[in-house]
Amino acid sequence: MSDLLTSIPELVMRDPVPGRDASFALNWFTAESGQDTLLKMGNLPSEIEKPTYEGELATLEEFSTLESEGKQKTWMLRYADVTVGAAWIELIENRGVMAPSVHLMIGDSSFRRKGIGKAAMYAMITYLKKNGYGTVHSRHLVSNEAVNGLCRSLGFIPDDQSYTDKDGLEWQNIKLLLSTRLP
């Protein structure tokens, strides 16, 4: 896979490199803001395991496996040559979300609300449009107002009614028709 350029010159979406990115992931997952983000992404406290460097290496290596199997494309968000998060496209249906679906996580909270998420989402949407896809999907917790606002600003619309899962979390599946003009 190759880099994805974004509208922010300092932000490049790069292939994961376990040796480079595992330290970032470990630092982020052990921080309080990392735990909070995992909860906002719909992870239950009981699902959040204590992070280890070896575990983060394995996760990053799994990204390569998923790509080689045609299931996912993953990029690390690199701002001024520092890893600040990850973005991925799931190419198969997962957790009730149609494919392709776009997702992102900005792990370093000091880089949030700076347009990085929007630039990364736009780059993935553009990538999918160039590769012949007509609709992009995603989902978010209804309570996650930041992601809801980001997706609305890109033109995503609800794909049916919100629903509550078996754990009591309320989700909203969304979609973006790529025949519409992107912002």
CATH number at 52 reads 3.40.630.30
**114-127, pLDDT tens digit by residue?**
999 999 999 999 99
| Residue-level pLDDT at 150 | 94
In a domain, 176, yes or no: no
Burial class (CB in 10 A: 0-12, 13-18, 19+), 110: exposed
Is 74 among the domain residues?
yes
pLDDT average, residue stretch 154-161: 94
146 dihedral zone (left: phi>0; alpha: psi -120 to 50; beta)? alpha
Establish if 174 belongs to a structural domain. no
Give the mean model confidence (pLDDT) for residues 47-55: 81
Mean pLDDT of 57-78: 94
What is the reported pTM?
0.87
Per-residue pLDDT, 40 = 66
| Backbone Cα Rg of the chain | 16
